[in-house]
Amino acid sequence: MSKWDISPSGVGHVVSTVGDVMTVLDDIITAYSQDMEGAAKAAGTVAPGGAGGANKGQTGLVAAGIAEFLRESAEELQFLGVRMGKSVNGAVEATVAYRDGDLEMAAEAQHRAAGLVRPDMPDGWKAGRL
């Protein structure tokens, strides 16, 4: 039979480290979004000297492509954070269930060891109880 050896404190350490990484990842995604917006603004237009006059503020083809890419990738980036969060929560919940199961099994083993019913004992009496 295989043996599980889960250390709740070890899981806590890993969860804490993943939390730190998630914070950094959030900062990176925020910077990425700002960098992409800056790239779109800097891309300009296909008009020589950029769009001016009545067309000032129009974006060019590259900026439109960057904006579309950002729209399409935003959901995936958001899903990455959600998936990481759910994975961390799942690990914590599984560890708690494992620990609770260990405690329940230990209590059951102690209960059984303390109260073995023997046929030679009077009715209602159990061996091992004082």
In a domain, 15, yes or no: yes
In a domain, 53, yes or no: no
In a domain, 66, yes or no: yes
Percent of the chain with pLDDT over 70: 72
Query: For residue 23, which phi and psi values (nearest 5 degrees)?
Result: -65, -45
In a domain, 21, yes or no: yes
Average pLDDT over residues 22-38: 89
Write out pLDDT tens, residues 14-24: 999 999 999 99
Distance CA 15, CA 24 (A): 14
Residues 71-105 as b/e (b if ≥16 CB within 10 A, e otherwise) read eeeeeeeeeeeeeeeeebeebeeebeeeeeeeeee
Among 19-23, 40-44, 90-94, 98-102, the range scoring the smallest mean pLDDT is 40-44
In a domain, 102, yes or no: no
Which domain covers residue 16, as residue numbers?
9-45+58-95
Average pLDDT over residues 15-38: 90
Count of domains forming the chain:
1
